[in-house]
Amino acid sequence: MISIRRRLLGILALATGFVWLCGVGWIGFQTRGELDRMLDARLGEVGRMVASMVRSGDIDPMVAARAVSQASGGTELLPRPFISCQIWDAQGRLLGRSGGAPDQEFASIGNGFTDTVVGGHAWRVFGVVDETRGIRILIGDDLDARQDIVRQIMLGLIVPAALLLPLLAGLIWWSVSLGLRPLRVATAALRGRAPGDLAPLPTSSLPDEVRPMFAALDELLEKLAEARAQEQTFTAFAAHELRTPIAGLKLQAQVALASRDEAGRQAALKQIMIAVDRTSAVVNQVLELARLDGQAPPPEQPVDAGGLVHETARRLEPIQCGLTVTRALEGLALRINPEMLSVALRNLMENAVLQTPAGAEVVCDAEIRAREVAIVIADRGPGIPADELEHVRKRFFRGRHRTPRGSGLGLAIAEAAMRRVGGRLSLRNRPEGGVIAELLLPASQLSGPVSRGAELA
């Protein structure tokens, strides 16, 4: 994987090189354009000067042409003359030419500019026609010489700039290193932390661009700290809940071993079975809750909610008393994970049945509201004290109306299962006694009709 430093250096190097090349190209283009305009203006001036000299009749055309050659002698940049002159009459005879000018006519033009190739050389030619004297003056500028001028100018600019590129590269490397220094400091601070240190990271010295990332990391550390605290609390409560039945198992086993009569031994064994059932229930619920906490988001699928309620009630048949499923659940189809819904239903139904006195009724119903679908489980038990309504969903919470078989995990498991599928658990007391537990799901998860069920207080 490429480091940020190398990536930044590469991007900046490419960007700098691109800008540098574009600058060189633009300077070359502008230089060539300005040079062409300047030299074209000079060609025009020379052409008009020669025309003026010849028009007076005092100067021979040959002398006038050679004067151009002498006036445009070599320079340090261009050791040879690069402006040439030809003077032609109306019959196409060469009247005069400067040194370096070819014998062949530059171009058959009148007044104005043109580009041509004569004798293997490219020329920029300016023509002036003197109709009074019947002569045509052609002033040629060697384009190779022009290119030499541009080349010399560009070399004078590029060479110093190229020599500065290593210095520019060093400045870029230093700037990137300085900009990434806060990240190196933060990385060193993270590496130097103890395994259990989940305190927030100092972000005051970090750049604004990376501060959101470290803020998100702080949020993750906070969640990890909360999860660790919950795990420690969960482990402590689980150990406490298991310690009591295990101690009871040991005590009853000792009683059974020490008992000399069959009735006492049978009573002790019966208590052992009760303790084993309670221990098994606690262990199963602890494992179920741990599985819900660590599971990935469950897949959804169309589910016959009514059929799932009937199936869950059938599995609770050994402990159920008067569990009634209303017709409102018939035809109710939800798009949900069936396992999560079954877990929530089983724990709520079992809790309701255990709280309801013998002969009383537990009702399972369904309702469609404005934005929610509710699966309602109502019992006729003692209800939940008002001061405990906010706490009964906490893990291992044991209220004043707890049952001997309860472990304080059923409501916590139901709520965890509902959170996994985007729903929630609602609890409220009935005025005439008992609890109404509602599994609430967004209306968007409804995929089938439902009729109106029994009215609940």
371 or 278: which leads in pLDDT: 371
* Assigned CATH topology for domain 211-292: Helix Hairpins (1.10.287)
Q: Cβ distance 356 to 381 under 8 Å? A: yes
pLDDT tens for 337-358 read 888 888 888 888 888 888 888 7
Max avg pLDDT among 213-227, 232-246, 389-403: 213-227
- Tell me the C-alpha to C-alpha distance, in Å, between residue 180 and each of 5, 211, 215, 333, 346: 8, 13, 18, 56, 55
Residue 73 has phi, psi (to 5 degrees) of -65, 175
Integer Cα distance of 442 and 440 in angstroms: 7
Integer Cα distance of 246 and 285 in angstroms: 16
Q: Residue 406: which pLDDT band, with cuts at 50, 70 and 90?
A: low
pLDDT tens for 303-341 read 888 888 888 887 776 555 567 777 777 778 888 888 888
* Overall residue count recorded for the chain in this entry: 457
Q: Is the pLDDT of residue 114 over 80?
A: yes
Token pair belonging to 301: 């699928």
452 or 99: which leads in pLDDT: 99
pLDDT of residue 69: 65
pLDDT of residue 455: 37
Q: Residue 457: which pLDDT band, with cuts at 50, 70 and 90?
A: very low
433 or 456: which leads in pLDDT: 433
Q: Is the pLDDT of residue 404 over 70?
A: no
Share of the chain above pLDDT 70, in %: 83
- Mean confidence (pLDDT) of the chain: 78
Of the listed ranges 177-191, 230-244, 378-392, the one predicted with least confidence: 230-244
Residue 425 has phi, psi (to 5 degrees) of -110, 130
Nearest Cα residue to 415 out of 292, 327, 256: 292
pLDDT of residue 84: 85
pLDDT of residue 183: 77
Choosing among 2.120.10.30, 3.20.20.70, 3.30.300.30, 3.30.450.20, the CATH entry for 4-154 is 3.30.450.20
The residue ranges of every structural domain in the chain are: 4-154, 211-292, 298-445
Does the pTM exceed 0.75?
Answer: no
Q: Which residues contact 119 (CB under 8 A, 6 or more apart)?
A: 102, 104
Q: Which residues contact 378 (CB under 8 A, 6 or more apart)?
A: 352, 362, 363, 365, 430, 434, 435, 436, 437, 456
pLDDT tens for 58-85 read 677 788 777 776 655 544 444 444 688 8
Share of the chain above pLDDT 90, in %: 0
Of the listed ranges 144-148, 236-240, 253-257, 393-397, the one predicted with least confidence: 236-240
Integer Cα distance of 69 and 140 in angstroms: 11
Three-class SS state of 436: strand
Span 298-445: which CATH code? 3.30.565.10
Task: State the Cα angle at 60 between 57 and 61, rounded to 5°.
Answer: 105
Integer Cα distance of 272 and 275 in angstroms: 5
446 or 11: which leads in pLDDT: 11
Q: Is the pLDDT of residue 401 over 70?
A: no
pLDDT of residue 27: 86
